[in-house]
Amino acid sequence: MIQLITPIAAIMAIWCLRSVILSGAPFYPSTIGYVPLEWAVPKAKIIDEANWIYSWARQPDVHWSIVLGNWEWLKPWILTIVEHEKSDMLYPIALFGFFCITTSVFVIVKSAKPLRWLEWAILFPPILGLVYWFFTAPDPRFANALFFLASMSAILLFVRSIGNSFNFRTLSSLICLAFILGNLHFVRLAIIYRHLVKEISLFGYQPIKVAPLKEIATRSGVTLYIPQVLGNCWDAPLPCTPYFNTALKLRKPGDLGSGFKAAE
């Protein structure tokens, strides 16, 4: 148990320390464990940003006070998923359901040795992760690999259920078929975006883009570089940000490396 827990605890400790250094909150954008350090993001600002994340994932471009606390966002959210996320969400969900049902039918019809509960437990982590994702910030990008982990878990469960019921040739064919079904969406994306192969640089790194900037000073006299068109700073000098904050000041005057804080 010590060997198992120690690496996890070390990774979590480093992750939380990094978050404290950046924002004062070890689990940003949650205020759990918030440390009121000199450079910490104000707690009210963290709460506002968290609400924006939760609401934007449900219904973009609508203020969080309108979105949160009701289910009116669900219908447009579903329509958006059906229209734009067929490959990243709907296909893995379909695979998950297909292989779960196929495994259950196979175990019943073939009267095979029932799978143990611990083998079925492979489905629980991605399912619990997706439930948490749905009730917090249900934007596909925040799910990371959960949908694919769910479909892979169902495929692995299916392979385990047929392991002792067929000869080697049939078993190999079924595993290959499951592998192909599990990766059809990648084949589809490779065909759709085949032109990107030609955009790979054969001559080293491409030159970094340059954004037109404007200089604006905060109340404390810190000069910030702001892109004239809201977006990335690219190769701009520091400090550069697309979001101007008039209260921003250096922790130590004249020392950019000391970091920033919000003026009183």
Write down the pLDDT at residue 114.
67
Residue 91 has pLDDT above 80, yes or no: yes
Please write the tens of the pLDDT for every residue from 23-55. 999 999 899 999 998 889 889 989 999 999 999
User: What secondary structure does DSSP assign to 182-245, as a single string?
Assistant: HHHHHHHHHHHTGGGGGGS-SSSPPPPPB--EEEEE-TT--EEEEESSSS--BTPPSSB-SS--
pTM: 0.74
Euclidean distance between CA atoms 172 and 195, whole angstroms: 34
Confidence class of residue 107 from pLDDT cuts 50, 70 and 90? confident
